[in-house]
Amino acid sequence: MMTMNLHAAQVHGFFSVPTDPLTARALFVRYLQQSDLDPEQTIVVAPDMGRAGSASRFAAHLGWAYRWPRLARFAFLTPKSK
């Protein structure tokens, strides 16, 4: 069985048949390296802290800067009715 982006290696243990994780990272790296993007003006941003490690490795392959998300929660309070 071939899988794609299961987010955690432990998930492979749930299958009763051998599994192979697939990734398109190398394809994206090759494509982006051939692009006209300026490495000094381009960064990789993780969508959330769960993918921070993956985004960091991706940026390292490209030689680009990397940033991680900062969690901010906002509560919009409305005044209580009297």
Q: Out of 16-20, 37-41, 61-65, which region has the weakest mean confidence (pLDDT)?
A: 16-20
CB 66 within 8 A of CB 43: yes
Residues 6 or more apart in contact with residue 71 via CB below 8 angstroms:
49
Helix (H, G, I), strand (E, B) or coil at 12: helix
**Total-model pTM:** 0.65
Per domain, the residue ranges of the chain are 23-70
What contacts 24+ positions apart, CB below 8 Å, involve 3-6? none
For the cut 70, the answer to whether the pLDDT of residue 2 exceeds it is no
User: Which pLDDT score, from 0 to 100, does residue 23 have?
Assistant: 83
